[in-house]
Amino acid sequence: MRALFPYIKRFKSQAFMMFIGLFLSVTTLMAGIGLLSLSGWFLSATAVAGLTVLSAQMFNYFTPAGGVRFLSIVRTASRYGERLATHEATFSLLTDLRCWVWNKLLPLSAKNLQGVRQGDLLNRLVADIDTLDHLYLRLITPLAASLLMMLALYFFVGHFDPELARTLCSVLLAVWLLLPTTFYFLGRKPGIAQLETKRVLRVQLLEYIQGQAELTLFGAQQAYRSRLEQAQLQMLNSQNAMNRVTALSQACLILCHAFAVLMMLYLAASGVGTAVPPGPRLAMVVFLTMATIEMMMPLAGAFQHLSACSSAATRLNEVVEQTPSVTFAAAQCADVSQGAIRFTDIEFGYNEQQTVLKGLNLEVKAGQKVALLGQTGCGKSSLLSLLTREWLPNKGQVSIDGCDASQYSELQLRQSMSVVSQRIYLFSGTLRENLALAINGATRKDDDKLIAVLHKVGLESLLQGDKPLDAWLGEGGRQLSGGEQRRIGVARALLRDAPILLLDEPTEGLDKRTERDILRLLFEFAADKTMLMISHRLTAMNQMDSIHLMDQGAIRASGTHTELLESDAYYASLFKRLS
């Protein structure tokens, strides 16, 4: 329960609409109960009035008939309004919660999210937050509305017979207290199991779809499909268990309601208030008791959702309650203008058991073009992660333009760098939207600039039709080849005027000719910029001011392309083989 408090506090942003929804819910219940009880009284009173000619002529048929029609209209209108208000409040609340969780998630570094799978993170951001809508729709509103209705029923029935009012409301209150509590404990385990099995299935399904190429390549598709079917079976079993609890709760509610109707029929049969025999008032009380099923029906399943909501909130709290391991203070240094980079005595590891970088020292002067070469796992990409402050070094200092990187604001740091990473992220949007990310405040006036850069990177094939920049790329750019995606990543870098250009395997997946053309373009673009490039290839190494060979977290050798060919046998043999 405590896990839900941070999310309940967020309800105040929609307090007015939630109150309107509750008010309309109570109005709907009042109209429904009033309609059935008035109808019962009207039919009974009409039958009694028809026993004699005099009473039939004196009976007022029009006022009760008008009341029935009025309550029918009120019930229909208030039910419609309740649906609008409660769903508007719920969707607005989910939007607010999702934005709040995202803002909590955004500052978290890779260290904070270490060990969290992307599919699981997506499930928390989408499915777990969606689960929290039960708090208002299926828990708070039904419980509050039924409690207010009990109070209204007490005063209404008490006007005719206080003893009947106390009896009826005591029974309803006992059901209100005992039934939800009982089925909370009965539904707790299957409710959590249902949420967990849904999460597992979603994560596995997402990984199955994203990893189709690898699964097919390694012949593991059938084995993974079997895991999916097993996860689906577990989810269906948990749903069946929850359905059995729900069915039992509904049966118990109907049984309790039937008991209440029979008891009120028995007690009212001896007279309602001063009326002996009871006559139409007996029908009114009995029909009123029958109508209470509408307000009691949501109670049986209300607390079944509490366990799922609590579990979802606990999983979200594991993320939102974290303190970011990488923080940015107010700017203490001037904006980066030169782009000089220095790594001093850097020691770094992703965990305590493994050290990736060991006392590394590296200086990149402003305007230099520097390459980092080495086998996979030697620490090249880790070095870039420290420079972008995705991770923090365990020891040592990273400085830019002579100022410690920690003394730059996040905006300053991001504006000082252009990065082409190993993996190019394309969003589900148009070509224009994916390119305009690189331009602050981009408008359609920048379309000519976007088209020009697409020509530069060799993506003329995408410029088809009357509005080529409006072409839809799809989720992850699935309509593009790997080479085209990488070229878009390069195009983004060309659109940013930052003093530092960081390249992590920028030509991976491109053929030799295209690789040379892209590198030539990047060198022209970075003529007056600082460029730090990670590569497994040796293309354009002769244009580098300095090349550093890394091995086991340290720089083993440094020099120009010519110097390394003469002094390092490994580099010379590698160049000969790749050439």
The model's pLDDT over 491-548, given as tens digits with 9 standing for 90+, comes to 898 888 889 999 988 887 777 888 888 888 888 888 889 999 998 888 888 889 999 9
The SS3 assignment for 228 reads helix
- The arithmetic mean of pLDDT across residues 366-377, rounded, is 89
Q: For residue 188, give Cα distances in angstroms to 120, 181, 253, 304, 384.
A: 22, 11, 19, 7, 47
Question: What are the backbone dihedrals phi and psi of residue 574, each rounded to the nearest 5 degrees, phi first?
Answer: -65, -40
Cβ neighbors of 269 (< 8 A, separation 6 or more) are 278, 282
Q: What topology is assigned to 2-320 in CATH?
A: ABC transporter transmembrane region fold (1.20.1560)
pLDDT of residue 4: 82
Q: Band of the pLDDT at 355, cuts 50, 70, 90?
A: confident
Each residue's pLDDT tens digit, 113-144: 887 777 777 777 787 888 887 888 888 888 89
Arithmetic mean of pLDDT over the chain? 86
Any idea which of 25-39, 382-396, 426-440 has the lowest mean pLDDT?
426-440
**Is pLDDT above 80 for 273?**
no
Contacts of 359 (CB under 8 A, 6+ apart): 345, 346, 347, 396, 554
Q: What is the CA radius of gyration of the chain?
A: 35
Cβ–Cβ < 8 Å for 135, 7 = yes
pLDDT of the residue at 316: 86
pLDDT of residue 268: 87
Q: Is the pLDDT of residue 276 over 60?
A: no
Mean pLDDT within 370-387: 88
CA 571: distance to chain centroid?
48
Span 278-321, pLDDT tens digits: 678 888 899 999 999 988 888 877 776 777 788 888 888 888 88
More confident residue, 421 or 342: 342
The CATH number of 341-578 is 3.40.50.300
Q: Is the pTM of this model over 0.85?
A: no
Give span(s): CATH 1.20.1560.10, the chain. Answer: 2-320
Taking 80 as the threshold, does the pLDDT of residue 148 lie above it? yes
Answer yes or no: is pLDDT of 277 > 60.
no
CA dist., res. 188 & res. 192, Å (int): 6
Ranges for all domains in the chain classified under CATH 3.40.50.300: 341-578
- Residues 491/469, Cβ–Cβ less than 8 Å: no
Omega prior to 277 cis, within 30 of 0: yes
Amino acid 275: pLDDT: 61
Q: pLDDT at position 188, please?
A: 81
- Give me the mean pLDDT over the 223-251 stretch: 90
51-76 tens-digit pLDDT? 776 666 777 778 888 999 999 999 99
SS3 (DSSP) at 314: helix
- Quickly state the pLDDT bin for 19 (edges 50, 70, 90): very high
Task: Determine what percent of the chain is predicted with pLDDT higher than 70.
Answer: 98
pLDDT digits (tens, 9 = 90+) for 418-431: 988 878 888 888 88
pLDDT at residue 26 tops 80: yes
Mean predicted confidence (pLDDT) in 390-397: 91
